[in-house]
Amino acid sequence: MKKWLIPLIIVVVIVFALYRWAVGFNNTAVQYEADAKTAWANVESSYQRRNDLIGNLVKTVQGAADFERGTLTDVIEARAKATSTNIDANNITPEQLAEFQQAQTGLSSALSRLLVTVERYPDLKANQNFLELQSQLEGTENRINVARDRYNEKVNIYDIHISKFPGTILAGWFGFEDMPRYQADPGSENAPDVNFEFN
Protein backbone atom coordinates (compact mmCIF):
# COMPACT_ATOMS: atom_id res chain seq x y z
CA MET A 1 0.00 0.00 0.00
CA LYS A 2 1.33 3.41 -0.92
CA LYS A 3 2.26 5.72 1.98
CA TRP A 4 0.26 8.69 0.71
CA LEU A 5 -2.95 6.63 0.59
CA ILE A 6 -3.34 6.34 4.40
CA PRO A 7 -3.24 10.12 5.08
CA LEU A 8 -5.63 10.65 2.17
CA ILE A 9 -8.10 8.12 3.60
CA ILE A 10 -7.85 9.78 7.03
CA VAL A 11 -8.51 13.22 5.51
CA VAL A 12 -11.48 11.89 3.51
CA VAL A 13 -12.96 10.22 6.61
CA ILE A 14 -12.56 13.42 8.67
CA VAL A 15 -14.09 15.59 5.92
CA PHE A 16 -16.98 13.14 5.51
CA ALA A 17 -17.58 13.09 9.30
CA LEU A 18 -17.57 16.91 9.45
CA TYR A 19 -19.93 17.05 6.48
CA ARG A 20 -22.35 14.58 8.11
CA TRP A 21 -22.21 16.52 11.38
CA ALA A 22 -22.91 19.84 9.63
CA VAL A 23 -25.79 18.35 7.63
CA GLY A 24 -27.26 16.78 10.76
CA PHE A 25 -27.00 20.03 12.69
CA ASN A 26 -28.57 22.02 9.85
CA ASN A 27 -31.44 19.59 9.29
CA THR A 28 -32.27 19.45 12.98
CA ALA A 29 -32.14 23.26 13.27
CA VAL A 30 -34.44 23.58 10.24
CA GLN A 31 -36.93 21.19 11.83
CA TYR A 32 -36.84 22.91 15.22
CA GLU A 33 -37.22 26.33 13.60
CA ALA A 34 -40.18 25.08 11.54
CA ASP A 35 -41.77 23.63 14.70
CA ALA A 36 -41.41 27.00 16.43
CA LYS A 37 -42.93 28.81 13.43
CA THR A 38 -45.85 26.38 13.38
CA ALA A 39 -46.35 26.96 17.09
CA TRP A 40 -46.40 30.72 16.41
CA ALA A 41 -49.02 30.18 13.69
CA ASN A 42 -51.12 28.37 16.31
CA VAL A 43 -50.79 31.38 18.63
CA GLU A 44 -52.01 33.66 15.84
CA SER A 45 -54.84 31.24 15.03
CA SER A 46 -56.01 31.31 18.66
CA TYR A 47 -55.95 35.10 18.68
CA GLN A 48 -57.84 35.14 15.37
CA ARG A 49 -60.54 32.95 16.91
CA ARG A 50 -60.81 35.40 19.78
CA ASN A 51 -61.08 38.33 17.37
CA ASP A 52 -63.86 36.57 15.47
CA LEU A 53 -65.74 35.86 18.70
CA ILE A 54 -65.32 39.47 19.83
CA GLY A 55 -66.88 40.63 16.54
CA ASN A 56 -69.94 38.50 17.25
CA LEU A 57 -70.00 39.67 20.87
CA VAL A 58 -69.93 43.31 19.75
CA LYS A 59 -72.89 42.69 17.42
CA THR A 60 -74.85 41.07 20.25
CA VAL A 61 -74.05 43.90 22.68
CA GLN A 62 -74.93 46.56 20.07
CA GLY A 63 -78.45 45.15 20.14
CA ALA A 64 -78.90 46.45 23.67
CA ALA A 65 -80.18 49.93 22.88
CA ASP A 66 -79.04 51.68 26.05
CA PHE A 67 -75.63 50.00 26.32
CA GLU A 68 -72.73 52.35 27.02
CA ARG A 69 -71.29 53.27 23.63
CA GLY A 70 -67.89 54.39 24.92
CA THR A 71 -67.08 50.94 26.29
CA LEU A 72 -68.19 49.32 23.05
CA THR A 73 -66.16 51.77 20.96
CA ASP A 74 -63.05 50.98 23.02
CA VAL A 75 -63.44 47.28 22.22
CA ILE A 76 -64.01 47.93 18.51
CA GLU A 77 -60.93 50.17 18.28
CA ALA A 78 -58.74 47.77 20.28
CA ARG A 79 -59.88 44.89 18.07
CA ALA A 80 -59.03 46.85 14.92
CA LYS A 81 -55.55 47.60 16.29
CA ALA A 82 -54.98 44.00 17.35
CA THR A 83 -55.98 42.60 13.96
CA SER A 84 -53.77 45.08 12.11
CA THR A 85 -50.64 44.06 14.04
CA ASN A 86 -49.12 41.12 12.17
CA ILE A 87 -45.85 39.25 12.47
CA ASP A 88 -44.00 37.43 9.72
CA ALA A 89 -43.20 33.99 11.17
CA ASN A 90 -40.00 33.91 9.09
CA ASN A 91 -38.69 37.03 10.78
CA ILE A 92 -40.02 37.30 14.34
CA THR A 93 -38.16 40.02 16.21
CA PRO A 94 -38.48 40.94 19.90
CA GLU A 95 -39.80 44.38 18.84
CA GLN A 96 -42.52 42.87 16.64
CA LEU A 97 -43.49 40.43 19.36
CA ALA A 98 -43.71 43.26 21.92
CA GLU A 99 -45.90 45.33 19.56
CA PHE A 100 -48.15 42.34 18.91
CA GLN A 101 -48.39 41.60 22.62
CA GLN A 102 -49.18 45.23 23.45
CA ALA A 103 -52.03 45.27 20.91
CA GLN A 104 -53.45 42.01 22.27
CA THR A 105 -53.15 43.25 25.84
CA GLY A 106 -55.05 46.41 24.88
CA LEU A 107 -57.82 44.28 23.43
CA SER A 108 -57.92 42.05 26.52
CA SER A 109 -58.21 45.12 28.73
CA ALA A 110 -61.02 46.65 26.66
CA LEU A 111 -62.83 43.30 26.58
CA SER A 112 -62.55 42.97 30.37
CA ARG A 113 -64.09 46.43 30.82
CA LEU A 114 -66.91 45.44 28.45
CA LEU A 115 -67.67 42.25 30.36
CA VAL A 116 -67.67 44.13 33.68
CA THR A 117 -70.04 46.73 32.23
CA VAL A 118 -72.42 44.00 31.04
CA GLU A 119 -73.07 43.12 34.68
CA ARG A 120 -75.30 46.21 34.87
CA TYR A 121 -77.53 44.92 32.06
CA PRO A 122 -79.63 41.97 33.25
CA ASP A 123 -81.33 41.50 29.87
CA LEU A 124 -77.98 41.27 28.12
CA LYS A 125 -76.58 38.92 30.78
CA ALA A 126 -79.58 36.63 30.20
CA ASN A 127 -79.20 36.71 26.39
CA GLN A 128 -78.39 33.16 25.27
CA ASN A 129 -76.15 34.33 22.40
CA PHE A 130 -74.18 36.53 24.78
CA LEU A 131 -73.76 33.75 27.34
CA GLU A 132 -72.58 31.32 24.67
CA LEU A 133 -70.11 33.84 23.25
CA GLN A 134 -68.83 34.65 26.73
CA SER A 135 -68.27 30.94 27.39
CA GLN A 136 -66.47 30.49 24.06
CA LEU A 137 -64.27 33.51 24.82
CA GLU A 138 -63.25 32.02 28.16
CA GLY A 139 -62.30 28.78 26.41
CA THR A 140 -60.39 30.70 23.76
CA GLU A 141 -58.40 32.61 26.38
CA ASN A 142 -57.29 29.23 27.74
CA ARG A 143 -56.34 28.11 24.22
CA ILE A 144 -54.31 31.26 23.74
CA ASN A 145 -52.40 30.61 26.94
CA VAL A 146 -51.68 27.00 25.95
CA ALA A 147 -50.61 28.07 22.44
CA ARG A 148 -48.22 30.69 23.83
CA ASP A 149 -46.70 28.14 26.22
CA ARG A 150 -46.22 25.65 23.38
CA TYR A 151 -44.62 28.32 21.23
CA ASN A 152 -42.16 29.12 24.03
CA GLU A 153 -41.36 25.41 24.45
CA LYS A 154 -40.59 25.03 20.73
CA VAL A 155 -38.48 28.19 20.68
CA ASN A 156 -36.57 26.92 23.71
CA ILE A 157 -35.70 23.63 21.97
CA TYR A 158 -34.59 25.50 18.85
CA ASP A 159 -32.57 28.13 20.75
CA ILE A 160 -30.77 25.51 22.83
CA HIS A 161 -29.89 23.54 19.70
CA ILE A 162 -28.31 26.52 17.94
CA SER A 163 -26.65 27.88 21.08
CA LYS A 164 -24.76 24.79 22.25
CA PHE A 165 -21.09 24.59 21.35
CA PRO A 166 -19.90 23.64 18.77
CA GLY A 167 -23.26 23.99 17.01
CA THR A 168 -23.23 27.71 17.68
CA ILE A 169 -20.42 28.04 15.11
CA LEU A 170 -22.50 26.35 12.43
CA ALA A 171 -25.59 28.34 13.41
CA GLY A 172 -23.77 31.53 12.45
CA TRP A 173 -22.61 30.07 9.15
CA PHE A 174 -26.08 28.79 8.26
CA GLY A 175 -27.85 31.97 9.39
CA PHE A 176 -29.81 30.56 12.34
CA GLU A 177 -30.65 33.16 14.98
CA ASP A 178 -32.36 33.06 18.36
CA MET A 179 -36.12 33.45 18.26
CA PRO A 180 -37.89 35.66 20.81
CA ARG A 181 -40.12 34.11 23.45
CA TYR A 182 -43.59 35.29 24.34
CA GLN A 183 -43.30 37.01 27.72
CA ALA A 184 -45.74 38.01 30.40
CA ASP A 185 -47.21 41.49 30.21
CA PRO A 186 -45.24 44.11 32.17
CA GLY A 187 -46.49 44.27 35.75
CA SER A 188 -48.20 40.86 35.60
CA GLU A 189 -45.81 39.58 38.26
CA ASN A 190 -47.59 41.83 40.78
CA ALA A 191 -50.78 40.63 42.43
CA PRO A 192 -53.78 42.68 41.27
CA ASP A 193 -55.50 45.00 43.74
CA VAL A 194 -58.93 43.69 44.61
CA ASN A 195 -61.38 46.11 46.17
CA PHE A 196 -64.73 44.90 47.37
CA GLU A 197 -67.17 47.75 47.69
CA PHE A 198 -70.38 47.20 49.56
CA ASN A 199 -73.22 49.66 49.26
Q: Are 149 and 52 in contact (CB under 8 A)?
A: no
Q: What is the pTM of this model?
A: 0.79
Residue 3 lies in a domain: no
Instruction: Tell me how many domains the chain contains.
Output: 1
Residue 53 placed within a domain: yes
Q: What is the pLDDT of residues 82-101, one digit of tens each?
A: 888 888 888 888 888 889 99
Closest C-alpha among 154, 118, 122, 156 to residue 137: 118
56 or 153, which is more confident?
Answer: 153
Residue 130 in any domain: the answer is yes
Residue 131: inside a domain:
yes
Residue 39 domain flag: no
Q: How far apart are the first and last CA of the chain?
A: 101
Any domain includes 132: yes
In a domain, 153, yes or no: no
Tell me the C-alpha to C-alpha distance, in Å, between residue 105 and each of 9, 47, 75, 102.
Answer: 61, 11, 12, 5
Q: What is the pLDDT of residues 111-121, one digit of tens each?
A: 888 888 888 88
Q: With 60 as the cut, is the pLDDT of residue 39 above it?
A: yes
DSSP annotation of 119 reads T
What is the domain extent for residue 111?
Answer: 47-145
Domain-located, residue 52: yes
Name the pLDDT band for 156 (thresholds 50, 70, 90): very high
- What CATH code is carried by the domain that includes residue 55? 1.20.1270
